[in-house]
């Protein structure tokens, strides 16, 4: 049976385009402008031409580029921007979303498959957008005998905990959402919530497959959290601090992976187990227990858990970069902003715009962010690699690895750190600074 394609009419196209523009302008006027106005009341506005900018003047002065840049700069340096955009949730979610697409193409290439192809002109680049729209539009089905309040809240708790974990990772010097002096302890405390959330969500579903997956996840996470903590004690001993920013600053001349390779191996192995990735994917194990503790989640509830999982992946990869790969430290490759433009302004025809305070970000921040992203993406690719080449191990081997082998290697790493410290090689006053 053949179908006839609808006839294209320019009048209909123009009408639909006008309709879209109308609704965009209407929504921006009703929602966008009031939201911008509210935000301006909560940020510290700059002094322009000797006059303190007020929220009322800001909306009118934004039309002038010379005034817009200081306003944007003030917004960028607020806590609100750091939490929502960079280096907080927005930045982490962007890298997490990119990781989902890269993983599918990466594994397809390893296994001689095509991967996402049709959604988007270039290598299925719009597949992630298509998956997101599908999850948003799908019906959320709640099991009849589920504990509904806990079942509804569990995905939100999972995403919130993953976002809290990501907020502790410093991206560049001075650019971190939360920078407590006991940052490493805060990381351990945050990670400890994941087993609780997993067990609660699996129990609330009131189904055997999620419950089996939840019990597996509980055993797995607890058995690997101990070697995870022990593997990092060597770095704490040598640096004398729990602050993640100070740990990065201690690696200006060398990375800790050079002196703590055993700790890096143990930590990387525990990362795979904490993320429930192959070969440690027993809590999900599609060929055994459907999808494990994720079985009963559908629609955007499943989408939130996937988002939280990849936020957690980014946070662990960033933590590995911060602790073992020097964080944002690296050669200066980001070119400085031309000094003559800052001094003389930008000339466009007969008009010269003097934009004070350029650039919005300093060169060290941009260079540090670039190195952090490069290193973190590299760690993420190594984390993704085992899924394409390794099989799933038995649960008894998993527990034996966590409770015996990794804990033993972690103690060896601690003894190496103590030896380097008391031999005067590293640490305060050591031969290598």
> What is the per-residue pLDDT across 119-174, written as a single tens digit (0 to 9) for each?
777 777 788 887 878 878 777 778 878 788 888 888 899 999 999 999 999 998 88
Of the candidates 36, 348, 312, 342, the one whose C-alpha atom is nearest the C-alpha of residue 190 is 312
Structure tokens at 144: 């009849």
Of the candidates 384, 297, 405, 399, the one whose C-alpha atom is nearest the C-alpha of residue 105 is 384
Q: How far is CA 381 from the centre of its chain?
A: 14
Rg of the chain taking only CA atoms, in angstroms:
26
Of the candidates 260, 282, 311, the one whose C-alpha atom is nearest the C-alpha of residue 90 is 311
Q: Is there a contact between 224 and 270 (Cβ–Cβ < 8 Å)?
A: yes
Instruction: Say whether pLDDT at 8 is over 70.
Output: no
Instruction: Say whether pLDDT at 263 is over 60.
Output: yes
The predicted model gives 61-84 an average pLDDT of 72
- Residue 240, classed as helix, strand or coil, is coil
Distance CA 373, CA 23 (A): 38
Distance CA 343, CA 265 (A): 50
Distance CA 43, CA 41 (A): 6
Instruction: Indicate the range of 208-217, 231-240, 277-286, 338-347 predicted with least confidence.
Output: 338-347
Distance CA 263, CA 338 (A): 43
DSSP 390: -
Structure tokens at 232: 């990092």
The pLDDT tens digits of the residues spanning 266-276 come to: 999 999 888 88
Q: How confident is the model at residue 341 (pLDDT cuts 50, 70, 90)?
A: low
Highest-confidence range of 24-38, 120-134, 241-255, 419-433, by mean pLDDT?
A: 241-255
Tell me the percentage of the chain whose pLDDT exceeds 90: 22
Structure tokens at 159: 């995403």
Instruction: Say whether pLDDT at 317 is over 70.
Output: yes
Higher pLDDT residue, 65 or 149? 149
Instruction: Say whether pLDDT at 344 is over 50.
Output: yes
Q: Kindly report the pTM of this predicted structure.
A: 0.82
Mean pLDDT of the chain: 81
Distance CA 187, CA 165 (A): 6
Residue whose pair of structure tokens reads 């945050």 in the numeric block: 190
Instruction: Say whether pLDDT at 359 is over 60.
Output: no
Residue whose pair of structure tokens reads 């390779």 in the numeric block: 261
Name residue 47's beta-bridge partners: 52
Enumerate the domain spans of the chain.
13-77, 89-422
Q: How confident is the model at residue 112 (pLDDT cuts 50, 70, 90)?
A: confident
10 Å CB burial of residue 332 (0-12, 13-18, 19+) is exposed
Q: How confident is the model at residue 321 (pLDDT cuts 50, 70, 90)?
A: very high
Q: Is there a contact between 65 and 353 (Cβ–Cβ < 8 Å)?
A: yes
Q: Is there a contact between 248 and 355 (Cβ–Cβ < 8 Å)?
A: no
Q: How confident is the model at residue 339 (pLDDT cuts 50, 70, 90)?
A: low
Distance CA 272, CA 265 (A): 11
> What's the confidence (pLDDT) of residue 276?
82
Residue whose pair of structure tokens reads 């999620």 in the numeric block: 210
Higher pLDDT residue, 176 or 116? 176
Q: How confident is the model at residue 354 (pLDDT cuts 50, 70, 90)?
A: very low
The pLDDT tens digits of the residues spanning 362-404 come to: 778 888 899 999 999 999 999 988 887 877 777 778 888 888 8
The predicted model gives 77-95 an average pLDDT of 85
Distance CA 284, CA 292 (A): 4
- CB atoms closer than 10 angstroms to residue 211: 19
Tell me the percentage of the chain whose pLDDT exceeds 70: 83
Helix (H) or strand (E) holding 226: helix 208-231
């Amino acid at each position: 049976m053949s179908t006839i394609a609808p006839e294209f009419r320019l009048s209909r196209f123009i009408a639909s385009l006008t309709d879209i523009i109308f609704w965009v302008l209407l929504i921006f006027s009703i929602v966008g402008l009031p939201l911008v106005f509210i935000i301006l009341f909560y940020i510290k506005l700059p002094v322009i031409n000797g006059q303190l900018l007020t929220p009322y003047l800001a909306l009118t002065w934004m039309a002038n580029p010379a005034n817009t840049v200081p306003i944007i700069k003030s917004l960028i340096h607020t806590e609100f921007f750091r939490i929502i955009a960079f280096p907080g949730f927005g930045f982490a979610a962007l890298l997490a979303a990119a990781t989902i697409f890269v993983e599918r193409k990466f594994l397809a290439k390893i296994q001689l498959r095509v991967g996402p192809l049709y959604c988007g002109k270039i290598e299925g680049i719009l597949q992630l957008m298509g998956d997101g729209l599908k999850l948003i539009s799908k019906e959320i089905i709640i099991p009849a005998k589920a504990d509904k309040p806990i079942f509804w809240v569990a995905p939100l708790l999972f995403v919130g905990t993953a976002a809290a974990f990501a907020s502790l990772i410093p991206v560049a010097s001075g650019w971190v959402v939360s920078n407590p002096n006991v940052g490493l302890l805060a990381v351990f405390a945050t990670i400890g919530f994941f087993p609780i959330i997993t067990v609660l969500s699996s129990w609330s579903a009131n189904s055997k497959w999620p419950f089996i997956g939840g019990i597996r996840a509980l055993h797995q996470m607890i058995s690997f959290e101990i070697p995870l903590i022990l593997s990092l004690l060597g770095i704490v001993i040598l640096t004398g601090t729990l602050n993640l920013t100070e740990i990065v600053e201690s690696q200006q001349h060398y990375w800790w992976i050079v002196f703590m390779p055993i700790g890096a191996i143990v930590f990387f192995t525990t990362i795979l187990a904490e993320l429930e990735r192959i070969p440690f994917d027993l809590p999900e194990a599609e060929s055994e227990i459907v999808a494990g503790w994720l079985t009963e989640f559908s629609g955007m509830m499943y989408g939130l858990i996937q988002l939280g999982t990849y936020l957690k992946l980014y946070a662990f990869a960033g933590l590995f970069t911060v602790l073992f790969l020097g964080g944002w430290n690296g050669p200066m490759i980001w070119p400085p902003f031309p000094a003559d433009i800052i001094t003389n302004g930008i000339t466009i025809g007969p008009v010269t715009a003097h934009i004070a305070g350029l650039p919005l970000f300093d060169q060290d921040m941009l260079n540090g962010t670039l190195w952090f992203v490069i290193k973190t993406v590299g760690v993420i690719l190594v984390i993704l690699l085992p899924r394409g080449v390794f099989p799933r191990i038995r649960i008894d081997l998993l527990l034996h690895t966590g409770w015996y082998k990794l804990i033993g290697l972690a103690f060896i790493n601690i003894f190496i750190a103590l030896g380097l410290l008391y031999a005067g090689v590293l640490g305060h006053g050591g031969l290598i600074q």
